[in-house]
């Protein structure tokens, strides 16, 4: 697998700062047309793609929705997951999927993992032994739908 081209790679090749490369690609700030052209041409020839994690930090959006289901082999849940995925893709989101195997301890861990990964939303089908709903209240209170 080849290394992804970074802003730093482009900056080094053109002997300019990383922030100048970033401004040139985003078409903001004071960057000469000549520099902007050189940056864009090199970025295109090197097939530069913005790092989605870096963009997520910059925009405070990840494009991820966490989905926690109890059973990976249940036909009902696979059908529901298929529908969720179609709607998510149509709206520019990607699903992160975890299975609790119908155990609340696994569900709680998955919730923590998705919150840590900065999922923009969570869809949870509670495990059969889920009694404590404080975790749901906590994520809702943190503004995660």
What average pLDDT score do residues 21-37 get? 92
Average pLDDT of the chain to the nearest whole number:
88
Lowest mean pLDDT among 13-27, 36-50, 56-70, 88-102: 56-70
Assess contact for 98 and 68: CB atoms under 8 A: yes
- pLDDT tens-place string over residues 41-74: 999 999 998 877 777 777 778 899 999 999 888 8
Q: Which of 33, 29, 35, 32 is nearest to 16 (CA)?
A: 35
Enumerate the domain spans of the chain: 7-50, 58-141
Q: Please give the CATH architecture assigned to the domain spanning 58-141.
A: 3-Layer(aba) Sandwich (3.40)
Q: What is the pLDDT of residues 121-143, one digit of tens each?
A: 999 999 888 887 777 777 777 77
Residue reference for tokens 């998510």: 88
DSSP class of 16: S
Antiparallel, parallel or unpaired: β 64-69 and 94-99: parallel
């Amino acid at each position: 697998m080849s290394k992804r081209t970074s802003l730093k790679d482009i900056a080094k090749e053109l002997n300019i700062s990383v922030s100048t490369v970033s401004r040139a690609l985003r078409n903001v700030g004071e960057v000469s047309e000549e520099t902007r052209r050189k940056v864009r041409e090199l970025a295109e020839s090197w097939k530069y793609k913005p790092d989605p994690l870096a963009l997520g930090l910059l925009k405070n959006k990840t494009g991820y929705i966490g989905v926690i289901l109890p059973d990976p082999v249940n036909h009902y849940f696979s059908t529901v997951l298929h529908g969720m995925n179609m709607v998510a893709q149509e709206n520019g989101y990607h699903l992160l999927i975890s299975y609790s195997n119908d155990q609340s301890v696994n569900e709680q861990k998955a919730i923590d993992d998705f919150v840590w990964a900065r999922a923009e939303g969570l869809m949870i089908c509670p495990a059969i032994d889920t009694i404590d709903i404080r975790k749901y209240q906590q994520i809702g209170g943190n503004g995660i739908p």
